[in-house]
Structure 1
Amino acid sequence: MHCRRLLLIITVLLLAGMPMLAIAAPAAAGAQLPALPDVTVGQIGDNPISVPLQTLLLMTGITLLPSLLLVMTCFTRIIIVMALLRQAMGTGQTPSNQILVGLSLFLTAMIMMPVWQKAWDAGFAPYLNGEIDFRSAWDLGTAPLRAFMLAQVRETDLMTFAGLAGHDTYASPEAVPFPVLAASFVTSELKTAFEIGFLIFIPFVIIDLVVASVLMSMGMMMLSPMLISAPFKILLFVLVDGWVLTVGTLAASFNGV
């Protein structure tokens, strides 16, 4: 009984409110909101760029910026050497990937700081002060980075990518196109990193061979040599102060810094 009364009251209230909604609807339809102006900021040639397109370009640039910074700096060589060192020691996931990446990022910042400082002083700081235009600032600001990358590039890699781009030779380092320079720099860094990793592997491989030979001579062929050699490799690495030695060697392996 109470439910029927409640439903009846709700129905009466809805029927009473329908005329008010019918009156308010035309009034709302007749009122027009002010139109937003067509805002355009920036130009490509003589054509203006709308704000949504600028936002899309900015977000795309921000997405690609970390990858470009990692590829065009010394981070590639450092992280590969660190990963090979961990594999040579046979410690599995110790240190973890986060620790290796963090150490590589800080070491990259320390090595690249003089290059970034030159780029800031030569190009970007004068541009922000209104002393030069953007084109001149870009050329002056990227010149230290190009010089750093050219100092690490191998001539064979540069000639290989120049041939792929359809070029013969370049009159000067400034004439090397940036895509050719970036590709040559990455391949040169990979080769150098694996060369350093090979040299790091040698003492650990010797320890593995010695331990395996001793175990075989004692007839303990069922015992894993890696289990016995792991403490000796860690002990050797600690005694020679391996982390400082590796970091110092990596920092000194870059030319033009």
Structure 2
Amino acid sequence: MIRWMARYSGVLVVLAVFFAPAALADIPGIPALKVTPGDGEGAQEYTVTLQILALMTALTFLPAMLMMMTSFTRIIVVFAILRQALGLQSTPSNQIILGLTLFLTIFIMKPVFEESNRLALQPYLQEEVSSMEAVELATRPFRTFMLAQTREDDLALFMRIADEQYDTPEAVSFWILMPAFVTSELKTAFQIGFILFIPFLIIDMVVASVLMAMGMMMLSPIIISLPFKIMLFVLVDGWALVIGTLAASYGI
């Protein structure tokens, strides 16, 4: 019996290879490329395959969108300046700073995400709006958030560079609003960083003056001032103050 099964198993494999494609050819597949005219003027609907392809392409721009359309830029710049002011080169590590920045960004942007989900994602999942309409609806809460944090002079700068004029800020193109928003975020981050730097700079100057008066010129002031800066930062509950200030700067 075993010899018979071994003898004819090869024949069965060959038959399966030749006849399986013919059997599967009768099964209808998902159309790869198909565009269906929509109800509106010039509107078009794309197949799921094209929608997935567009979604995967859009995901490659997710890091840039995270920095260009959220509070991520301001927070991470402030944390980087704070670490430099404390004199700590690698503590907290970059992974910790990035993780804290990411979760703080999600906390600050939560109302925007919820509004975008209510306006765009849920209607799209319920097939009440098309994919292009969902994208347009999803950008509205982000536009409102970005306009509230963008300075008028930065917005006017990029409008002048692009040689475009708009009657109201709400009508500004997204491609002009994004760089103006990031520029404003960098300005605000450096302003907060400057204020954070002052007390630690004073400690460095006092320690350096004391060491010079004592004739200890070969001893690095950073070694002596670092414990005092850490102690000051802990005593005033520095992390809570910095995070609270960043959240308050967005009206939270």
Is 1:170 paired with 2:166?
Answer: yes
Provide the C-alpha distance between the structure 2 equivalents of 1:32 and 1:95, rounded to a whole number of angstroms.
Answer: 59
Moved more, 213-222 or 37-46: 37-46
The equivalent of 1:17 in structure 2 is none
Candidates 106, 112, 117, aligned match of 2:103 = 106
Change (3 A) 1:238 1:32: closer
Spell out, residue by residue over 1:192-247, the C-alpha distance to the aligned partner (whole angstroms, 9 max, x if none): 11111111000000000000001111111111111100000000000000000000
Offset at residue 163 of structure 1 (A): 1.5
The equivalent of 1:231 in structure 2 is 227
Which secondary structure state, in structure 2, belongs to the residue aligned with residue 223 of structure 1? coil
Aligned residues: 234
The equivalent of 2:67 in structure 1 is 70
Spell out, residue by residue over 1:67-125, the C-alpha distance to the aligned partner (whole angstroms, 9 max, x if none): 21232100110011001100100012000001111111111011000111112222322
Provide the C-alpha distance between the structure 1 equivalents of 2:128 and 2:56, rounded to a whole number of angstroms.
Answer: 29
Listed as ranges, the matches of 1:184-199 within 5 Å are 184-199=180-195
The equivalent of 1:208 in structure 2 is 204
The equivalent of 1:150 in structure 2 is 147
**Which has more radius of gyration?**
1
Contact 1:157–1:187 at 8 Å: present in 2 too?
A: yes
The equivalent of 1:16 in structure 2 is none
Offset at residue 43 of structure 1 (A): 4.6
Change (3 A) 1:32 1:74: closer
Contact 2:45–2:130 at 8 Å: present in 1 too?
A: no
Candidates 241, 247, 250, aligned match of 1:251 = 247
The equivalent of 2:128 in structure 1 is 131
Using the size of structure 2 for normalisation, the TM-score is 0.80
Spell out, residue by residue over 1:54-74, the C-alpha distance to the aligned partner (whole angstroms, 9 max, x if none): 665443222212321232100
Contact 2:147–2:177 at 8 Å: present in 1 too?
A: yes
Listed as ranges, the matches of 1:35-114 within 5 Å are 40-41=31-32, 43=34, 57-114=54-111
Give the share of equivalent positions with the same residue, in percent.
56
Change (3 A) 1:48 1:42: farther
Which secondary structure state, in structure 1, belongs to the residue aligned with residue 127 of structure 2? coil
The equivalent of 2:5 in structure 1 is none
Structure 2: unaligned runs, 5 residues or longer? 1-14, 38-43
Using the size of structure 1 for normalisation, the TM-score is 0.79
Contact 2:68–2:179 at 8 Å: present in 1 too?
A: no
